A and B are shown apart, each in its own frame.
Chain A
């Protein structure tokens, strides 16, 4: 069976006055897929969502929902569900009336409405709050009701506009799992806007990383994390060590880079188009680096230095090592008992060639 495309964005463009805020946006979202728009504030992710919702009209390109061109169609004719950052529950209606709002507009019978409201309240596990007013609910409860209100109309597409950012850390995690569970149960096609990489990584089937109105990369969370298409993607998602240097040579399918500090870094399956002498940047994730107390001679993918800092953070410990003029951060699982982490101690960092990422240095 061929895949069903629920949403299609073709070279979508939006400008405010002469400022282009979204450009050349191309995306196909499959039925049942969970896609996140991830990027820093001002990257155009919310603008794109507002175009899909119909609050903004694109200045170029086409928007298709279920195969129908939606440019210029007002939001109330699009049959979408949307959850806002500020919950946006109607304060003058009870929870049940809030949820029933969209159903009443669709001229559904009273008994049907009652049944569907009850069902969706069970779904978000809040069957007892039906007669309360929004202000009598906690932040987490309000957002669950907002989700229920969006889902009850059985929308063709669910839009989530940073729905977790107004909640405190613990609640955010709880609701994130809730969203995941709901998506697995209902399977509604979902577009989720967030600036939080963890939310995007944990929830999405695919992530669209955006910056300055452009798409930097579209891929699965693992792709985005392990095979970033650009330096921006790599540094925006997760912590990383960034070492500058230049290409020293090729060795089979490996690339050898000499860093400014004189370290020799070997990278497997890197971009072999890089020529010797060309400036390049090396990235290594802190959790991929091992720490040991031996004083083996320095070599490829090995740096001897001095432990500067170590912060115990429960399940892991973050260290900073000064080696060859580079400051290298290392993330150790706390179960590692090999090295005593006393600042000032001589240590050795090492990593595998498979975990090294090389990119041509950005001009400028």
Chain B
């Protein structure tokens, strides 16, 4: 019986296992090996040492993290009210909002980013309107800097934040805020002492997701950051496709992966205290 069951599980998962092994794990392993090669194709750690020696790379790494953190913050601040609205809305309204949030994702990210270029550029309508109203004297620089990248990334990933937090909010018994209110808590107080702490699982999921996606984003920084705001995925791409220095490109990619994993692990360790586990474990 168990033998049969195991065999069927093995057979059922075999196709996806083979694909994952062949196109994901194996190339990853090859890239890892490649990152430890020097010009003479001998084993060396010089690609990684270069990162430590040359402040250029460290600065790009720091910028990647900074842009990702800003994206997380913007998605959180803009997304939380939307999630709260969804949690209070009727089933039908929830469906409509979910659709509105996901609809932009039906269009390629490249096209959406170009849409932002049109809106945010020096001759974009935001600047035109502000100039016409006389609120500014010169066009604001909203593109080809970190602000532009954060705007683009927030637009790309905010849906994940909203849906993750909304799922957590749906699970909160609405009578809890009534209970807080009758005990003397104002709406703001209720939010910070009841709603926010109870939405932590969704908040952790949303922030982790948006952070990881922002760290590894390539298209948006390339299109909306231009040449002046380079991030790790962009320089890894350049090393591999333009400079043809595959070992360095591979090393940069693994440094990005390593730092993302490290930061996400530290973050979740910090939040998931003993109390968190006691409250949210089922």
Interface residues of A (CB under 8 A from B): 53-55, 74-82, 84-86, 88-92, 101-102, 105-106, 133, 149, 153, 159
Contact flags B202-229 to A (C-beta < 8 A → 1, else 0): 0000000000000000000000000000
Q: Does B179 contact A (CB under 8 A)?
A: yes
Q: Check B198 against A91 for contact (C-beta < 8 Å).
A: yes
8 nearest A-B pairs in the assembled complex, by CB-CB distance: A102-B183, A88-B179, A105-B184, A88-B175, A75-B181, A82-B182, A92-B279, A92-B197
B175 near A105: Cβ-Cβ < 8 Å: no
- CA of A89 to CA of B279, assembled, Å: 13
Please tell me which one of the listed residues A54, A74, A84 contacts residue B179 in the complex, with CB atoms under 8 A apart. A84
In the complex, per-residue mask of B175-193: 1 if CB is within 8 Å of any chain A CB, else 0: 1101111111110010001
By a CB distance below 8 angstroms, the chain A residues around B180 are: 90, 101
Question: How far does the Cβ of B205 sit from chain A's closest Cβ, in whole Å?
Answer: 17
A76 contacts B279, C-beta separation under 8 Å:
no
Find out whether the CB atom of B178 lies under 8 angstroms from the CB atom of A75. Answer: yes
The answer to whether A86 and B183 have CB atoms under 8 Å apart is: no
CA of A90 to CA of B194, assembled, Å: 7
Q: 20 more A-B contacts (CB under 8 A) besides A77-B184, A105-B185, A106-B184?
A: A53-B178, A74-B181, A74-B186, A76-B181, A76-B184, A76-B186, A78-B182, A80-B182, A81-B182, A82-B178, A82-B179, A84-B175, A85-B175, A86-B173, A91-B198, A91-B279, A92-B197, A101-B185, A101-B193, A133-B279
In B231-282, the 8 Å CB interface with A consists of: 275, 278-279
Q: Please indicate the chain B residues that have their CB under 8 angstroms from the CB of A91 in the complex.
A: 198, 279
| Contact A88:B173 (CB < 8 A) given known A55-B178, A133-B278, A133-B279 | yes
Binary flags per residue of B64-85, CB closer than 8 Å to A gives 1, else 0: 0000000000000000000000
Output the nearest chain A residue to B190 by Cβ-Cβ distance: A76
A-B contact pairs, 17 of them (CB 8 A): A53-B178, A74-B186, A75-B181, A76-B181, A76-B184, A76-B189, A82-B178, A84-B178, A90-B180, A90-B194, A91-B279, A92-B197, A102-B184, A105-B183, A105-B189, A133-B278, A153-B183
| CB closest residue in chain B, given A146 | B179
Nearest CB in chain A to that of B197: its residue: A92
Complex Cα spacing A90 to B175, Å: 10
Shortest Cβ gap from B282 to chain A (Å):
9
* Candidate in A74, A78, A90, A105 with the most chain B CB atoms within 10 angstroms: A90
List the A side residues contacting B182 at CB < 8 Å: 53-54, 75-76, 78, 80-82, 159
Nearest to B275 among chain A residues (CB) is A92
Contacts of B194 in A (CB 8 A): 90
Q: List chain B residues, Cβ under 8 A from A85.
A: 175
Q: Which of A74, A88, A153 makes the CB contact (< 8 A) with B176?
A: A88
Q: How far is the CA of A85 from the CA of B182 in the complex (A)?
A: 15
Residues from chain A with Cβ under 8 Å of B176 in the complex: 88, 90
Q: Are B183 and A88 in contact (CB under 8 A)?
A: no
CA of A262 to CA of B184 in the docked complex: distance in angstroms? 64
Q: Tell me how far the C-beta of A131 lies from the nearest C-beta in chain B, rounded to whole angstroms.
A: 11
Whole-angstrom CA separation of A85 from B173 in the bound complex: 12
Contacts of A78 in B (CB 8 A): 182
Q: Are B183 and A101 in contact (CB under 8 A)?
A: yes
B179 close to A153 (CB less than 8 A): no
**Cα separation A101 to B183 with both chains bound (whole Å):** 7
Shortest beta-carbon distance, B200 to chain A, in Å?
Answer: 8
What 1/0 flags go to B88-103 for Cβ under 8 Å of A? 0000000000000000
